[in-house]
């Protein structure tokens, strides 16, 4: 994090990445002095409503974040920035996206949690578009031009007002991660009661184990000995608001619908109280760790791994076989995970996996048979990317192994 005083003093001259959050109400002109170096500009967490036309002077600018501000219109000047690839205006008050506001080189657009009802046709005329996050708006339809978005790989359209399944997305050749719950077309009258309800007063939360877009997961203990539940539990308390993936209540219902599987996080019970929703889960043993890390700004849609991390081909083969079983289980229950990635997978020293994080998952039993098959094909591509990502960290001495070649063949079929 930088400060406005640092910027004004010239201390930040030559910086490539600038981040200022000081309740700014106007764009600091001093930012323009960084025109020869600035590539990433983060003005999130301010009170901005507009950007100056002079922004185009930042010729090297590739990424701009302006989340949690007060913009009502996506600034048209963005479309004039020659090298801008990533635009993030999450959690503003945007109602209008002008046709000329989308940069020609756009790869990644984040407009989550705004008030957008329509999008311009120019969105589908950005050939490099890979990642599109639109959850938590008021969209009633998507541009038909998105059928041209042949590079699009990840889409989040949950928690909108889409009355019909957007067919223009389902046949895109590279689409691999799709979340669409919380729309009129994907509404379900299912009320899953596969696990019992318990009171929030029946347990006590302890150390935070992790948190994501939809909630916080903590280690917990029962306040009284339970006959039907294990002593060691984790509790995910949902934030109760729209997230980058959709509504927390949809995530809860999906977790209950998929039921039990040895390679899935085990759902034990649920809490459904006014202003308090939670899922009680089996506590994952401490010897499990993350298989991968989320995509970075450069990789965009593909997972990353720690430097020097490798897996043997036998480990990869075992992990893939388990994930294949998970995939089959999910889709036999007509559930698309929407986020099938190594970074949502835990593994241990014996290459056993536990798969979780259903924030982007969607039940799709309400779709037509043809639509259901396309949704399954989309996630099948994600599974292939999962395999490909693991093969990218395969030990060098195993890359001539027969199993390696068989997995390589599998992802090209």
Q: Is 100 helix (H, G, I), strand (E, B) or coil?
A: helix
Give which of 267, 270, 268, 257 is closest to 189, Cα–Cα: 257
Instruction: Encode burial over 35-64: b for 16+ CB neighbours within 10 A, e otherwise.
Output: eeebbbbbbbbbebbebeeebbbbeebbbb
Instruction: Encode burial over 361-399: b for 16+ CB neighbours within 10 A, e otherwise.
Output: bbbbeebeeeebebbeebbebbbbbbbbbbbebbeeebe
Going by their DSSP bridges, the two strands 40-42 and 63-65 should be labelled as parallel
Give which of 4, 48, 56 is closest to 27, Cα–Cα: 48
Q: Does 236 count as an annotated binding residue?
A: yes
Cα→Cα distances 55→27, 70, 77, 267, 355, Å: 10, 18, 7, 49, 43
Q: Does an H or E element contain 40, and which? A: strand 40-42
- β-partners of residue 197 are 270
Cα→Cα distances 19→4, 63, 364, Å: 10, 12, 40
The annotated binding site is made up of: 236
Q: Which residues are annotated as a binding site for ATP?
A: 236
């Amino acid at each position: 994090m930088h400060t406005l005083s640092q910027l004004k003093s010239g201390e930040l001259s030559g910086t490539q990445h600038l981040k200022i959050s000081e309740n700014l109400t106007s764009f600091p002109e001093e930012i323009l002095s960084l025109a020869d170096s600035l590539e990433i500009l983060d003005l999130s967490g301010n009170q901005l409503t507009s950007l100056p036309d002079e922004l185009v002077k930042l010729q090297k600018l590739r990424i701009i974040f302006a989340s949690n501000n007060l913009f009502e219109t996506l600034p048209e000047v963005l479309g004039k920035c020659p090298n801008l690839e990533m635009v993030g205006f999450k959690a503003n008050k945007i109602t209008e996206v002008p046709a000329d506001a989308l940069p020609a080189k756009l790869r990644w657009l984040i407009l989550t949690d705004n008030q957008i009802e329509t999008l311009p046709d120019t969105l589908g005329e950005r050939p490099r578009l890979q990642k599109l996050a639109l959850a938590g708006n008021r969209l009633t339809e998507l541009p038909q031009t998105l059928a041209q978005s042949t590079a699009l790989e990840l889409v989040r359209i949950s928690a909108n007002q889409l009355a019909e399944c957007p067919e223009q997305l389902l046949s895109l050749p590279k689409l691999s991660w799709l979340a669409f719950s919380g729309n009129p077309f994907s509404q379900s009258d299912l009320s899953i009661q596969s696990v019992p309800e318990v009171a929030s007063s029946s347990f006590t939360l302890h150390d935070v184990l992790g948190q994501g877009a939809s909630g916080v997961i903590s280690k917990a203990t029962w306040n009284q000995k339970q006959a039907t539940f294990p002593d060691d539990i984790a509790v995910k308390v949902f934030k109760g608001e729209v997230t980058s993936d959709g509504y927390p209540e949809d995530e809860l219902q999906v977790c209950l619908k998929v039921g039990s599987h040895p390679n899935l996080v085990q759902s034990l019970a649920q809490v459904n109280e006014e202003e308090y929703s939670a899922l009680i889960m089996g506590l994952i043993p401490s010897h499990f760790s993350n298989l991968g890390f989320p995509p970075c700004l450069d990789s965009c849609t593909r997972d990353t791994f720690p430097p020097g991390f490798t897996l043997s081909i036998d480990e990869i083969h075992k992990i893939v076989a388990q994930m294949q079983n998970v995939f089959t289980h999910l889709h036999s229950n007509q559930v698309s995970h929407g986020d099938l990635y190594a970074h949502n997978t835990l593994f241990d020293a014996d290459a056993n996996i536990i798969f979780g994080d259903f924030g982007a998952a969607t039940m799709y039993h309400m779709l037509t048979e043809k639509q259901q098959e396309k949704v399954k094909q989309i996630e099948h591509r994600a599974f292939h990317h999962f395999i490909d990502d693991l093969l990218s960290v395969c030990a060098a001495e195993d890359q001539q192994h027969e199993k390696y070649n068989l997995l390589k063949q599998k992802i090209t079929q």
